[in-house]
Amino acid sequence: MIRNKTTALCLILAMSAAFSGCAEKGAKSPLDAKNPVTIEVWNYYNGDQLTAFDNLVSTFNESVGKEKGIIVKSSSQGSVNDLETNALAAIRGEVGAAEVPNIFMAYADTAYTADQLGGIVDLKPYLTEEEAAAYIDSYIKEGDFNGSGEIKIFPMAKSTEVLVLNKTDWDAFAAETGARIDDLATIEGLTAAAQSYYEWTDAKTPDVPEDGSALYGRDAMANYILVGSMQLGTELFTVSDGKMTLHFEKDIVRKLWDNYYIPFIKGYFAASGRFRSDDIKTGNIIAYVGSSSGVSFFPDTVIKSEQNSYPIEMEVLPCPAFLGGDSYAVQQGAGMVVTKGSETELYGCVEFLKWFTADSQNILFSVQSGYLPVTKTANNKTAILDSGAQINPNMEKTLPVAVDTVNENQTYTTKAFADATKARTILEYSMSDRAVQDRGIVAQRLADGQSLEDAASEFCADAYFDEWYAETLEQLQAFENK
C-alpha cells in the first residue's frame, strides 16, 4: 500500500519535472498556439494585388498561423512611397508616426536607410543554407548590404516590365497601316510606330488638324532611364561602400530624350493620370510599358465617356529595348523587411515569410497579382502553368512573358545608396514632367493653329536639351558620394 503511494508520489514528481522540462524546450521556439503573436505587415498593394495578398494572409491565419500561434494583420499603405515614408517615420520614432510594423515592404534603398537606422533584422540566422539557396540568387543578394551574406530583405514577389497592348485597337491600326507587332520590340521601333499611329488617328478626322492619338505611355520613367542607360552601356549609378558615383552620359541621355521627350511633346506618347493603365482605361493610349504586376489593373473596357465605351483585348509583349543595346531588364519589387522585435515576433515573421514564398503560395500570389515568384523552382513558366492555380487570361498572357524576361535578360536593379529614392525621383519626374509641361504648351500652340512642327520646334532644339541636361545633371550630382 505504502509502496504504491510512493510510486504515485514519484510519478507526480517525475511528471512535474517533465512539465517544466517541456516548458524549457518550448523556449527554443517561443511560438505558442494558445497565446498567438500578432504580426503587423505593411504593404503598398492595391486592387487585385491587395486582394490576393489579403486572401493569402487569411489562408495563413486560418492554417499555419492558427496552428503555430501567429496572427498576421496586413494593411496597405496606399503607395510604395507612402509606405516607405511611414515606415521610416515609424522607425525614426517621429511625432505622430504609427508604431513600427513587424514587416514592411521596401525597396533596397529604403531597406538600406532603415538598416542604417538600426531598425531591421538580418534573417540569415533564421534560414538554413538550403532554404536561402532556394531563392533566386540576385533576389537574395539584394539585402546583402555589407557583403557579408546577410539577408536583410526577404524576397517576396518580384516584377519586371512588360509592354501591354490594347490589342483590339492595335489590331485596327495594324490592319490599316500594316504595322507589325514586332516593331514594338525595340524602343526605336516603338517610337516610329507611335508616330505612325498618331498620324493614322489624326487622319481619321481630316477636319480637325493635329488631333492624333498617342500610342504609348510609360510608367516608371526612372526604370526607362536606368535600364535604358544600362542597355546603352553605362550604369547610371554605380555604388561602392554605399556611395554613389554618377554616370549621366550626355549622349546616352540624349538618346533617351529623343525616344521619350520628343515623341511625347509631339503627342505620339502620352501620360495623364497616375498610371498608364488609367490612360488605357480612358482610351488615351493603347500600349504602355509598366510593371508586370500592374497588368492586373489593365481594364477590360475602354471608357472614353459614359456613352462611349467598348471592350478590349489585351496583349503582353516583352519590354522594348534599345536597338543593339545590351540585354538588360529591370528587376523590381519590394522585398519584405523585418524590423526588430521580440524573438516570438521574429519567429512569427520568418514563419510567415517562408510560408508565403513556398512555391504553391508564391505561384498562387503570382497568378493573382502579376508578380513573379522568387524561388528558382517557382519562377518557371511550366511550374506556374502546371501549378493548378486558377489563372485569369490576363495573367496567363503576362506571366510567361515576364518570366522569360527575367530568365533571358540580365536583370537590373539599382543598388542601394543614401537618398537613392530621391535620386530616383529626379529620374522619374525630371524628363516626364518636362514632357508633360511642354506638351501642354505644344497642345496650346496646336489649338492656336500652329503646325506640330512649329509648335514643337523650340523644344526639339539641342540647346533646350542641353539646358535640361545641365539642370538634371546638377540635381543628380547632389547625391553623388553622399
Partner 1 sequence: MKKRDRTIFRELLLPLICVLVFETLFMICAIVFGGVIGKLNDNATDMLAQQTENRGNYLLNEMIRNWSDLEMLSDSIDAKFSEKLALEELTFDDLNENSAGCVELLKEISPELIDTMYSKKISGIFVILNAQEPNTAAAKSLQGIYLRDLDPMATPSERNADLLWERAPAEIVRSGYIATDTGWKPGFSASDSVEQDFFYKPYETAYADGCRLNEKDYGYWTTTPYSLEGDTHTAISYSVPLILEDGTVYGVLGIELLTDYINSLLPSEELLDKKQGSYLLAVDFDSDRYLTPIVISGDTIGLQDVTDMQLTLSEDFCSAESADKNYYGAAKHLALYRNNAPFDTDQWYLLGIGTKRSLFAFSRQMQRILFISVVLTFIIGFAGILYASYRLSKPIRTLSEEVAKAQQDNSMPQLPPTGIREIDRFADSITCLGREVVVSSTRLLSIMDMASVELAGYELEEETGHVYVTDNYFSLLGITGIDQTTLNIQKFMTLQEHLHQSLDYFDAEDGSIVYSVPQPDKSLRYLRYEHQQKDRRHIGLIEDVTASTLEKMRIERERDSDGLTKLYARRGFKREADRLFLKPDLLKHAGLLMIDLDNLKTTNDRFGHNFGDLYIQTAGRCFVENTPENTLCARMSGDEFIVFFYGYDSRDEIRQKVAALYRAIGDVEFVLPNGDNMGLSASGGVAWYPEDSMNLSELMKYADFAMYQVKRSKKGAYREFDIKIYEEHLMQNQNRMEFHKMLETQDINYFFQPIFSSADGAAYAFEALMRVNLPTLRSPETVLRLAKEEGRMHDIEYLTLFRATECYRVLLERGAVPQEALLFVNSIANERMTEEEEQRYHEQYHELQSRVVVEITEAEHLDMDLIHKKSSVENFSGMFALDDYGSGYNSELNLLSLKPKFVKVDISIVRDVDTDLNKQQIIINIVNYAHKRDMIIIAEGIETSNELIKVMELGVDLLQGYYLARPAEVPLSINAEALDVIRNFHANE
> Quick check: 9 binds partner 1 (CB under 8 A)?
yes
> Quick check: 450 binds partner 1 (CB under 8 A)?
no
What's 374-443 look like in SS3? CECCCCCHHHHHCCCCCCCHHHHHHHHHHHHHHHHCEEECCCCCCCHHHHHHHHHHHHHHHHHHHHHHHH
Site for partner 1 in 38-67 (CB under 8 A): 38, 46-48, 51
Nearest to 137 by CA among 375, 407, 336, 355: 375
> Quick check: 273 binds partner 1 (CB under 8 A)?
yes
Q: Which of 59, 138, 168, 282 binds partner 1 (CB under 8 A)?
A: 282
> Quick check: 5 binds partner 1 (CB under 8 A)?
yes
Q: Which of 18, 303, 470, 478 binds partner 1 (CB under 8 A)?
A: 303
78 within 8 A of 39, measured Cβ to Cβ: no
Considering the complex, state which of residue 36 and residue 242 has its C-beta at the smaller distance from partner 1: 36
> Quick check: 82 binds partner 1 (CB under 8 A)?
yes
> Quick check: 234 binds partner 1 (CB under 8 A)?
no
> Quick check: 245 binds partner 1 (CB under 8 A)?
no
Q: Which residues contact 189 (CB under 8 A, 6 or more apart)?
A: 182, 183, 320, 323
Which of 33-41, 146-154, 182-190, 402-410 is the region at the interface with partner 1 (rule: CB under 8 A)? 33-41
Q: Which of 115, 279, 315, 345 binds partner 1 (CB under 8 A)?
A: 279
Name the 3-class secondary structure at 38.
strand
Which of 142-150, 231-239, 303-311, 365-373 is the region at the interface with partner 1 (rule: CB under 8 A)? 303-311
Alpha-carbon gap, residue 352 to 465, rounded angstroms? 50
Which of 184-192, 304-312, 365-373, 457-465 is the region at the interface with partner 1 (rule: CB under 8 A)? 304-312
Residue with cell 519567429: 347
Q: Which of 30, 59, 64, 75 binds partner 1 (CB under 8 A)?
A: 75
The alpha-helical segments, DSSP class H, found in 203-340 are: 221-231, 250-258, 261-265, 276-281
Considering the complex, state which of residue 77 and residue 387 has its C-beta at the smaller distance from partner 1: 77
> Quick check: 307 binds partner 1 (CB under 8 A)?
yes
> Quick check: 424 binds partner 1 (CB under 8 A)?
no
120 within 8 A of 146, measured Cβ to Cβ: no
Q: How far is the CB of 118 from partner 1 (least distance, A)?
A: 23
CA 368 to chain centre: 15
Considering the complex, state which of residue 168 and residue 282 has its C-beta at the smaller distance from partner 1: 282
The alpha-helical segments, DSSP class H, found in 217-342 are: 221-231, 250-258, 261-265, 276-281
Summarize the chain as % helix, strand, coil (round to 5): 50, 15, 35
Q: Which residues bind partner 1 (CB under 8 A)?
A: 2, 5-6, 8-9, 12, 35-36, 38, 46-48, 51, 71, 75-79, 81-82, 85-86, 98, 272-275, 278-279, 281-284, 297, 303-307
